[in-house]
Amino acid sequence: MLHRDGFVYIAAPHSVNTNRHPKSRCIHDPVVKPYRHSGVLITSPAQTLVHCATRYPFVHALPMVDSALRQGLTKKDAIAVACGQVVNRKSADVAEMGMLLRYADPLSENGGESFCRAVTIEEGFPAPRLQQEFVDPRNPSVIYRVDFVWYLPDGRIIVLEYDGAGKYSDTQMTQGRGVRRIVHEEREREAALRRAGVHTIIRTDFDEVSGRVGLIAKLEQAGVPRFGADARMAAPATGLAAFDFEWA
């Protein structure tokens, strides 16, 4: 069952009569190889991701691939093989899968960060580096790790931080700290990042990422280059510096 549409998807090498189960949908896959898990036949993680890539937009599929890679459920090579085994695949589906493999990164820590990164990529910004560490020069024993960072040719460093919905309310995230203390620590963190050479720090959240306009304005104002949606297909594999390559 994927997302909130309520449908259960059945992968089969032949057509399946789903009339008796109106909430089920059939995925025709001539080379599907079922696996048994807890007595239930399922598709492999790689096959499942390929099926998702052909049914969900890039911004929703990238978090799935990131998550699978982060948990060690599969590898990019296995996904590529699963994609190549699909017969009569549409060129658009192949392009979408290629884009997912190009940008997928196990360093993404959660679905919100993956969604945020997918939106920036879809809007034509270079893929950022993930989970980079910065040492506070005033206190070298203190290391701060950021969600996203762009290193610009002029030497500027731009950091984007994604704030989850539970930042100030989820007890697992607050760990007993009050809002005032969290805000104070956030300011100390930003001051330390600037001492470490970060030029601009941008903060965003799910609502802003979903709306896009506010996030785009912040990135453009900060000076992150925007090359347009077509440029995303020519970008390098995730993990390279934002400008260690030439755009086609």
* pLDDT tens profile 190-247: 999 999 999 999 999 999 999 999 999 999 999 999 987 554 544 444 433 333 322 2
173 and 144 together in one domain? yes
89 and 132 together in one domain? no
How far apart are the C-alpha atoms of 58 and 69, rounded to whole Å?
16
- CA angle at 221 for the pair 219 and 222, rounded to the nearest 5°: 65
224 and 163 together in one domain? yes
**Residue 217 domain boundaries:** 126-234
CA-to-CA dists, residue 149 to 7, 93, 162, 172, angstroms: 38, 30, 12, 26
User: Last residue of a domain, which of 106, 136, 168?
Assistant: 106
**What mean pLDDT, rounded, does the chain reach?**
82
Answering whether pTM is above 0.95, one says: no
Total tally of structural domains belonging to the chain: 2
89 and 141 together in one domain? no
Grade residue 52 by pLDDT with cuts at 50, 70 and 90: confident
Grade residue 10 by pLDDT with cuts at 50, 70 and 90: confident
* 248 domain residue, yes or no: no
State the amino acid at position 132 in one-letter form: Q
How far apart are the C-alpha atoms of 148 and 101, rounded to whole Å?
19
